[in-house]
Amino acid sequence: MMAVLSLHMALGACLSMVIAAVAAPCLQSNPTIQRIALSALLAISGLLAVVAGFTGLISGGGSITLPLGLPWLPMHLRLDALGSFFLLVIGSLTLPVSIYSYGYLSHEKKLTPLAIFLPLFVLGMMGVVLSDDAFTFMLYWELMSVSSYFLVTHEHQYPENRKAGFIYLLMAHMAGLLIMGSFATLYAVSGSFEFSAMREASISPLWASVAFLLAGFGFGTKAGVVPMHGWLPDAHPVAPSNVSALMSGIMLKVAIFGFIRITWDLMGSGDFQWWWGALVLAAGSSSAVSGVLMALQQHDLKRLLAYHSIENIGIILIGLGLGMLLAHFNHPTLAALGLIAALYHTINHALFKGLLFMGAGAVLHKTGTRNMEKMGGLIHRMPWTSGLFLVACISISALPPFNGFVSEWLTFQTALMAPQLGGALLTAMVPFSAAMLALAGALAATCFVKVFGVVFLGHARSEAVADAKEVDMWMKFGMVIPAVCCLLLGLLPTLFIPLLDHVPQALLHTSMLSSLHNHSWVWLTPMDAERASYSAPLALIGMLLLGGLAFWWLHPKGNHIRRSKMWSCGNPHTHARMQYNAASFSQPLRRIFVDLYQPEEHEHAERHKHALLTTRVKYIVHVSDMVVKQVYQPIGHATLWLAKIIRHEHQRGIHAYLAYTFATVLFLLAVFA
C-alpha cells in the first residue's frame, strides 16, 4: 500500500508541474498571481517529491503503465530504490528554490516564459527518474533539455546569452544521440524498449562495452565531465539564479542517474569490465582537479560556481569508479561503500551548490553585478546572505561538521580500504585518485576562502555594492532550508545512510547496515571501527569547546580595548584598492600552474603628471579553458570551413546536380551490378 502511495505522490508532483505550465499563459495579465501560482505549485511538487522519495526508499516503489506515448508503446513508469533516491534529490532542492523564487522573481518583467519552462524543466527531470522504458526516458530527457535551453536564453537580448544557449543546445542534442545509441544497443540485444526486458537480456562483453561507452560519453556530456564540459561554464552564469541552482544542483545529477541506470541497473554489475571502472575513475579525477583549478581563476561569481560543479561531478565519479572496480574484482561490500559515497555526495552537492547559487543570486539581485572585483564588504549590508553563503562555503570545502566532509570522507575510506586490484596500473591508480581527491579538496577550500573574503569581507569596491540591502524574507527562508539540511546531513549521517543502503541492496545485492548497526548512532563506521570511524556530534562539541577556550583566552579582559588607525605603509588614507581582489588572491597558483593556465596578462601604467610618476596601474589577466581552446575551437573552425565548401557546392546550377546523380548511379552500378 505504501509503495503504491509513493508512486502516486510522484505522479502528483509531475501533475503539479503540468498544471503550472498550462496555467502560466492564462495568468499573464496578473503577474503577482502568476508568481504566487508558480511558487506554490513548485513547492507542492517539491514537497510531494521529497515524501515520495522517502517512502519509496523505505517501502519500495511501484509501477504503472499510462496510455500515453506511441500507439504500440505506452508510457511505462516505475519508482524503485534508485529512482526514489534521485526523486528525493530533486524535491529537496525544488522546495527551497520555489520559496526563494517568490522573492527573486518579484521584479521580473518577463515572467511568463519562466512560468512556462521552469515547471516543464522540473517535470522533465522527474519524468527521467520515473521512466521504465527507453522511449519514455528519451521523451522526458529531451523535454528537460529543450525547456532548460529556453531558461538559459531567458535574457536573449544579450549576444553572450544566445551563444551560451546555442552551445548548450548543441551539446545536449549530441548527448541525446549518444544516449539513444546506448539504448539502441540494448534494444538490439533484448528486442524491447522496456527496461525489464533489458535487465533480463544476456549481452556480450563487446556490445556491453559499446553501450557503456555511448552512455558514458552521452551522460558525461550532460553532467559536464572533462573534456565534454565546454557548455557548462557559459550556460550556468547567464541563466536566472534560481534556474542555475536547479541546473547545477539537480540536472547534472539526473545525468548521473542515467549513467547508473544503464550501467549498474540495466546491464548489471556482473557485466562490469575492469577498464570501465578505470575510465570512470580517471574521468572523475581529471574533472575534480581541473574543475577546481579553473574555478580559482574566475572573477565572475556564477562562472566560478559553475566550474565547481565540474569538480563535484568528478568527486561523484571517483566514488562510482571505485565501486565499479571493486565490484568487478568481487568486493561487493566495498563496492557498496563506493556507491553510497557517490550517492551521498550527490544529495550533498545538490544542497550546498543550490545554496551557493541562491546566495550568488541574492548578491546579483541587490548589487546588479557578478564581477567579484566590484564587490566587498557585503557582510555588513547582507548579514543573512553572508552567513548562509558561509555555510555553503564550509560544506563544499569538505570541512566538518557539515555534509561535504562526510561524503568525501566515505570516498577516501573506499580508496584506502581497497585491496590490491589487478596489475600495477590499478594498484597505482586507486591511491592516485585518492591523492587527486585530496588535492581537489585543498584547492576548493582555498577557492572559497577567496570567494567569501573578496565578496563579503573588506570594503565595498563600487557604489552599487556600498548601497546594497538585505534580500526579503522569502529569499532568506529559501536559503535557510538547504543550510539546515547541510548541517543535519553532516551531523547525522548514520540516520540517513540506512535509507541510501536500499540502492546497493537493489543493484549489488549487498547491504552496509551490519557495520552501521554494530555501533551507536553517534559513530559512522563504514566497515570496521578498528579501521576507521567518525563522529560528527563529538567533532562539533570538540570544535565548540576549543573555540570557546581560544576566545576566552585571547579576548581582552574588561573594557580596555586599544584602538588605533590602520597601518597603510605611511599613507594616511585607506581605500578599497589597497585590499586583495580575486586576481591577486589566485596569482600564486596561477604562477605554479602556468603551463596549464597559459594566462594572457596585460599591464599598463598611467603617468599623467610626470613620466616618472605612476598615478595608476591597470592589470588585466584572462585565463582560457584549454580544452575549449585546443579542442572545441579547432573543431568549430573545421566545421565552418567544411560548411563553406558545401555552401559553394549548393550554389551550383542544375547541371552540377545532374552530374552528381549520374556519378552516383555509375558508382552503384560498379559496386552492386
CA distance from start to end of the chain? 66
Give pLDDT, residue 448: 93
Question: Is the confidence at residue 217, as pLDDT, over 70?
Answer: yes
Question: Is the confidence at residue 570, as pLDDT, over 70?
Answer: no
Residue 508: CB atoms within 10 Å: 19
Q: What is the pLDDT of residues 357-372, one digit of tens each?
A: 999 999 998 998 898 9
Q: How far is CA 668 from CA 507, 658, 671, in A?
A: 50, 15, 5
Q: H/E element holding 76? A: strand 73-78
Q: Averaged over 378-395, what is the pLDDT?
A: 94
Give pLDDT, residue 673: 62
250 within 8 A of 222, measured Cβ to Cβ: no
Residue 337 binned pLDDT confidence (cut-offs 50, 70, 90): very high
Measured CA to CA, the distance from residue 87 to residue 355 in angstroms comes to: 19
Measured CA to CA, the distance from residue 235 to residue 250 in angstroms comes to: 15
28 within 8 A of 37, measured Cβ to Cβ: no
Q: Averaged over 18-30, what is the pLDDT?
A: 91
Give pLDDT, residue 561: 67
Q: Between 444 and 640, whose confidence is greater?
A: 444
Grid coordinates of 86: 534521485
* Cis preceding linkage at 332, omega within 30: no
DSSP 67: E
Look at residue 436 and give its three-state secondary structure: helix
Contacts of 548 (CB under 8 A, 6+ apart): none
Least confident of 123-137, 346-360, 486-500, 640-654: 640-654
Residue 220 binned pLDDT confidence (cut-offs 50, 70, 90): very high
Give pLDDT, residue 36: 93
511 within 8 A of 526, measured Cβ to Cβ: no
Grid coordinates of 667: 558508382
Measured CA to CA, the distance from residue 295 to residue 282 in angstroms comes to: 20
Q: What percent of the chain has pLDDT over 70?
A: 97
Chain mean pLDDT for the chain:
88
Q: Averaged over 208-212, what is the pLDDT?
A: 94
Question: Is the confidence at residue 517, as pLDDT, over 70?
Answer: no
Question: Is the confidence at residue 489, as pLDDT, over 90?
Answer: yes
Question: Is the confidence at residue 528, as pLDDT, over 90?
Answer: no
Whole-model pTM: value is 0.92
Measured CA to CA, the distance from residue 569 to residue 500 in angstroms comes to: 57
